[in-house]
Structure 1
Amino acid sequence: MSFLKALLFPPPPSIFVSAMSVISFTSLAIAGASEVMGRHLRYSKFWDAAGGAGLGVKQIRISSRAGMLLIYAPAMIAAVAAPFAVPGLLDGVRSQLVTAAVAIHFAKRVLEVLFLHSYSGQMILDSIITISLSYFLFAVTVIYSQHLVQNTPEPAVNSTYVGVVLFLVGISGNFYHHYLLSRLRAKGEKVYKMPKGGLFGWVICPHYLFEITIFIGISLMSQTVYSLSFTLGSTAYLLGRSHVTRRWYLTKFEDFPKDVKALVPYVF
């Protein structure tokens, strides 16, 4: 606890930020556990494989590309618009870095959707709204939380620039492994293949590992309780998601290497 006190700003006097700190961690951790138990968000091959597409309830579906844009674009817009909506938001270097990191992260995802990834299926609208709202609230809350602590004493341990380095490592590694995934199948091809290259020889979800690194980097730049709670919740979710991904590959491919872990080389 003493280390956390040295590393984090005191929680700001905001009911909204305090509530979001609890809600973000709890909802993401529950979502991760739900993935492991077979209750998947309705946008993935895991849900379809479990027979989700055959439910009798009529669902609104849109193309996967449009769905992914709806997931990431609101958070990107919120981060880009925040300096214009909140006077004095960019007065401090820390606030500038956090706001820029959030904007860059979601702008990268939007550009990947538009120009990198190939999509052939559809997504369920209610799952799109759930995920989009989660990312939008993250962008708004992490930036607003940073604004609230601008004039309070700095934490004893300044991890800002360590966070910048981790963020850059995370976003580079995440993009590289998304690039490898995008090159797995030829145009028009729909068959699933085992990914290769990069860290795929050690873990099946290195893109998730680097996404966690991105959020750790933002947390170390921000040093707020909210950013830490979201990072812990996201880590819990991606642990569950990567576990399910590895389990899916084991059932899909008889020659899947048993020594390839889910998320962390040699560990998990």
Structure 2
Amino acid sequence: MSVTINLKSRGRLIKRLPTSVDVNPKSTPSELASQISSKTGLSIHRLRLTKASDGKVLEDLNISSNETVYVKDLGPQIGWRTVFVIEYLGPLLIHPLFFIPKLRTYIYPHIQASTASIPPTLNQQLLLYLVLMHFLKRELETLFVHKFSSATMPWRNLPKNSTHYWILSGLNLAWFLYHPLVITEGKYTFYTPSSTAILTFIVLWVFAQVSNFSTHLTLSNLRRAGTTTRGIPRGYGFNWVTCPNYFFEVLCWLAVWALSGFNWAVGLFTLVSAGQMYLWALKKEKRYRKEFGDKYKKKRAVLIPALL
């Protein structure tokens, strides 16, 4: 026995979209999408199915015969793994450019060439290594650790998603972080933290990176390969806040901020990143409560223990 489902395009017209299809009542939305994909020639990831009755995304096929389902073409897609690789590639390519002597005179044309060509300080070199290792770690996690609940996103969103990393943590951060002249107390001088400060914040940075990696492993192990189902995250960090991976990320950049002499560009990047992660953490807390109910231990703080 089969059920007839009427199909209509939402938004732009989808060529070769049949007016109706017959499906098994026990079929899943993914199987319906696969059937539509085979008939239209569009990737299954480009299709969004919503009920005509309430406009909600189709989560099951518990609908009556001859009910209408809207099909929306989301446009050309790009894999989320590729998206993250491209995003994190920005700082990895941009920051080293500021250490090329001949380029520094062009990057900083507003100051004398003799000053612009002065090599970066040891502290600036340290900051470069920390930034590069941070984003290299992210690239490796993207390739070998992370699992994604959604396979793709629209290509048109890539520039918007990449702006944060290519501009804010790329060009903006590098330009001020490696500037030949660092302003301190109204004078142009080089910032040189004490040996104790350097050691303290390097230890904090390493602790944050290792802890962040640990939480990413926990999250990755919650989702079985080939599925989008999740378990409840528990263990190190997760008993403190909803998203300890975000907390350790903020901690990492606070260490970099301190090592930079509290450079405003690093502070801005840290603040913007923390604000965005806080909003994401709030959404995750709400989703966990809805998805797992009483099985999930509610968190008061979602990002920073006892604060946010």
Fold in common (TM above 0.5): yes
Task: Give CA-to-partner distance per residue, 1:171-210, whole Å, 9 cap, x none.
Answer: 1111111111111122223212111221112212000001
Cα distance in 2 for partners of 1:173, 1:261 equals 18
Cα distance in 1 for partners of 2:163, 2:244 equals 25
Q: Which residue of 2 aligns with 1:126?
A: 156
Structure 2 counterpart SS, 1:62: strand
Matches within 5 A, 1:186-265: 186-223=224-261, 224-254=263-293, 255-259=295-299, 261-265=301-305
2:87 to 71, 74, 77: 71
What's the CA shift for 1:241?
A: 1.6
Query: Quick check: 2:177–2:265 contact (8 Å CA) kept in 1?
Result: no
Query: Quick check: 2:243–2:281 contact (8 Å CA) kept in 1?
Result: yes
What's the CA shift for 1:262?
A: 1.0
What's the CA shift for 1:94?
A: 1.5
Residue type at the aligned position of 1:108: K
Structure 1 counterpart SS, 2:238: helix
Q: What TM-score do you get using the length of structure 1 for normalisation?
A: 0.71
Cα distance in 2 for partners of 1:242, 1:229 equals 20
1:94 to 97, 109, 123: 123
Structure in which a larger fraction of residues adopt strand = 2
What's the CA shift for 1:139?
A: 2.3
Cα distance in 2 for partners of 1:156, 1:107 equals 26
Residue type at the aligned position of 1:257: K
Matches within 5 A, 1:159-178: 160-178=198-216
Cα distance in 2 for partners of 1:156, 1:74 equals 27
Query: Quick check: 1:118–1:182 contact (8 Å CA) kept in 2?
Result: yes
Residue type at the aligned position of 1:262: V
Cα distance in 2 for partners of 1:140, 1:234 equals 16
| Larger Rg computed on CA atoms | 2
Structure 1, 127-136 or 249-258: larger mean CA deviation: 127-136
Matches within 5 A, 1:27-176: 56=72, 58-84=74-100, 85-86=103-104, 91-119=120-148, 121-137=151-167, 138-150=169-181, 152-154=188-190, 160-176=198-214
Q: Which residue of 2 aligns with 1:27?
A: none
What's the CA shift for 1:154?
A: 4.7
Cα distance in 1 for partners of 2:246, 2:299 equals 18
Task: Give CA-to-partner distance per residue, 1:29-68, whole Å, 9 cap, x none.
Answer: xxxxxxxxxxxxxxxxxxxxx85xx895743311121122
Cα distance in 2 for partners of 1:75, 1:267 equals 30
Structure 1 counterpart SS, 2:99: helix
Compute the RMSD of aligned alpha carbons: 2.8
Q: Matched residues, percent identical?
A: 23
Query: Quick check: 1:92–1:150 contact (8 Å CA) kept in 2?
Result: no
Structure in which a larger fraction of residues adopt helix = 1
Task: Give CA-to-partner distance per residue, 1:150-173, whole Å, 9 cap, x none.
Answer: 463256976544432332222111
Query: Quick check: 1:161–1:221 contact (8 Å CA) kept in 2?
Result: no
Query: Quick check: 1:239–1:263 contact (8 Å CA) kept in 2?
Result: yes
Cα distance in 2 for partners of 1:196, 1:79 equals 36
Task: Give CA-to-partner distance per residue, 1:196-227, whole Å, 9 cap, x none.
Answer: 22111221200000111121111112121111
Name stretches of at least 5 consecutive residues in structure 2 with no aligned partner: 1-55, 58-69, 106-116, 183-187
Cα distance in 2 for partners of 1:258, 1:89 equals 54
Residues 229/161 of structure 1: CA separation in 2 closer, same or farther (3 Å cut): farther
Structure 1 counterpart SS, 2:307: coil
Query: Quick check: 2:74–2:154 contact (8 Å CA) kept in 1?
Result: no
